[in-house]
Chains A and B, each alone.
Chain A
Amino acid sequence: MSRTVAITGNGAIAEAMRQINPDVVAAFPITPSTQVVEDFSQFVADGLVSTELVTVESEHSAMSACIGAAAAGGRVMTATSSCGMALMWEMLYVAASQRQPVVMTLVNRALSGPINIHADHSDSMGARDAGWLQLYSEDNQEAYDNLVMAPRIAEHLDIRLPVMVCLDGFIISHAVQTMKLEDDEAVRRFIGKFIPVYPLLDCAHPVTIGALDLQDYYIEHKRAQHQAIMSAKRVVQEISDEFAKSFGRNYGLFEAYRLEDAERVIVAINSVAGEVKEVVDALREKGEKVGLLKIRLFRPFPYEQIREALSGAKIVTVLDRSCSFGAYGPLFTEIRTALYDLPQKPMVYNRVYGLGGRDMLMNDIEAIFAESKQYQQNETVDKVFDFIGVRGD
């Protein structure tokens, strides 16, 4: 039976992992994802899962062990944040290029330095080229749902790529929200059996994994990898539709919130979307045509679908919770690229907010919509790029 629970984001993730019951989890603790592995360790100790838990000595070893375990031929999961992911950065590329369907929960946290344990997206954005699928989650329900879908997506024979499910550190990971926890059996049925592809442990058919490519083969291997990740857009929607049938919650590649006739739109990722929805509702009451496009699938990036969704907008504010130093924000760059081919392009500009967990308040969001209204009236964007909420600016 599904039930409503009051649980933290990390708790929800741990529950999903318990239901998925992966064959191996190899993980190393780092704030704010630590509790995921702690909760899961208790499940192991209590015999609630049959997972082999490998408490490795670093995140680099965590991802290495995950790759080894997946290559051996089974379902593998892990969790990390921030510098932990940065430490395993080299191995993210290996996991993706070796096409191992590892599922990782990434509790978004700022990268050092200065060292900061709070939410921003510099960790996952920093790894956006690694070849992993990236799914972002507004709240603990979405995080749980995304994680339940993740093994199906990762293991799909048209994809066979690792998937990271992202949620904001502390804001979602540690905050208690109510959500629907689905029935163990129903989740197990949805996840299904793991199908190995050329497993190492099949000694009768020895396979060589991790070969060296010279100049004559590398680009062909990468072309093949690219083909696989591009198929993910279709597969993510297919799995999401199946999820909707099983559990009643609909997910697309992104969420279009009151977008159909919106003139002024905010594009955002993760928890801030919740606040934006509140402000959108309040402004809509006053007759303002505003809306939100909330990103869910960031890699592969659904350019065509987002272009379609924003084609009617007049002005788009892209919120980035990470800084790509020396350039515009990572999300902004993608959105502007998506909009470039429109015969009638909306104005689009970038605001960087919330680095290192700096709160985004309702006032701040109202101010953003006020500013975009100003820009819309003046028919010009004064500042294509700016920070929000910085003392001294």
Chain B
Amino acid sequence: MKAKNVLMNWQELPIGGFILDAGSSVDYETGTWRTMKPVWHKEYCTNCLTCWVFCPEDAFVLKEGRRPSGKPRSEIQEINLFHCKGCGLCVRECPVNKKGQKTAIELATEKI
């Protein structure tokens, strides 16, 4: 994923200021905004997807997995650090974290 760094000439522009490439913001890196970065501890994660629901950047990438019972479910695959702004909502809202015994996800200092 690369940002569109090359600026278009007026002749190359779609009509009326339209953006024809839906969802093209995925090419724009907002990960540089971070000062803290989320660290996911997969072994404690229950895949409740609360972090996924709340993440403003849609940065929790899902994959197909299975419950312990065998039923299919969507699970966390990884965090998309290209977009993650390090807000920490995932850490604060994680139900495993809230129980107080384990840390399923935490913030670490981002090295610049």
Contacts and interface: CB of A to CB of B under 8 A. Distances in A.
B9 A198 contact: no
Interface stretch (B15-23, B64-72, B81-89): B15-23
Contact of A224 (B13, B19, B22): B13
Contacts of A99: 15-16
Given A206-B22, A207-B22, A208-B22, A220 B13 contact: yes
A-B pairs with lowest CB-CB distance, top 6: A99-B16, A208-B19, A206-B22, A220-B10, A223-B10, A98-B16
Task: Label chain B's interface by main secondary structure.
Answer: loop
Contacts of A100: 16
A207 B20 contact: yes
A211 B18 CA distance: 7
A201 interface: no
A21 B18 CA distance: 28
Interface in B8-33: 8-11, 13-20, 22
Contacts of B11: 224
Interface in A2-41: none
Contacts of A287: none
A208 B16 CA distance: 10
Contacts of A220: 8-10, 13
A216 B14 CA distance: 15
A223 B9 CA distance: 10
15 contacts: A97-B16, A97-B17, A98-B17, A160-B16, A197-B15, A209-B16, A210-B17, A211-B17, A211-B19, A217-B7, A220-B8, A220-B10, A221-B13, A221-B17, A224-B15
Q: Which of B13, B16, B17, B22: most chain A CB closer than 10 A?
A: B16
Contacts of A97: 16-17
A198 B10 contact: no
A96 to B, nearest CB: 9
A100 B7 CA distance: 25
Contacts of A227: 10
A317 B51 CA distance: 74
Interface of B: 7-11, 13-20, 22
A227 B13 CA distance: 12
Nearest to B13: A224
A8 B104 CA distance: 77
A208 B13 contact: no
A224 B15 CA distance: 8
Contacts of A209: 16-18
A213 interface: yes
Contacts of A208: 18-20, 22
A224 B18 CA distance: 12
Contacts of B18: 98, 198, 207-209, 211
B10 to A, nearest CB: 4
Contact of A207 (B7, B10, B13, B19): B19
Contacts of B13: 217, 220-221, 224
